[in-house]
Homo-oligomer: A and B are copies of this chain.
Amino acid sequence: MDKYQGLLKAHNLKSTHQRLAILKNISDAGHIDVEFLYSKLLEKFSSLSKATLYRNINDLLASNIIEEIKLPELKQQYEIKKEPHIHLLCKNCHNVKDINYNLDSVYSEISKDNKFKIEKSFIVIKGLCSNCV
């Protein structure tokens, strides 16, 4: 996980055992909430304290290494910061798929019609994935 060591160093955060495990688990999961993340971490790292997890989540958020995503009806989720994308959330298996779709023309129209300077959009589409139909 050299990738993360560099990222951490770039933000003056030490590459601890715990942090690397947190990042690896978030990355593996794609999207994960605190409780589930904690249980995964305990498997390999039985002494990890929840305070450390919370502190790290906050530090990593502050450094923009991870970001919060809010999905309807689910607990707050975290993911490794990536390019903006749309989330497809399956209401059955709760799997989340990231997709890209260019909405520039939509945004420019919305922006003009509402005199609103758009910075970022958050889109979640809920439904049934191909495995659950």
Contacts and interface: CB of A to CB of B under 8 A. Distances in A.
A100 to B, nearest CB: 10
Contact of A122 (B109, B119, B124): B124
Interface in A84-117: 86, 88, 90-91, 97, 99, 101, 103, 106-107, 109-111, 113-117
A91 B119 contact: yes
Copies of this chain, tallied across the complex = 2
A72 interface: yes
A127 B122 contact: no
A65 interface: no
21 contacts: A70-B71, A72-B120, A88-B110, A90-B116, A97-B116, A99-B113, A99-B114, A101-B106, A101-B110, A106-B106, A115-B129, A116-B127, A116-B130, A117-B133, A118-B126, A119-B128, A120-B125, A121-B123, A121-B125, A122-B123, A122-B125
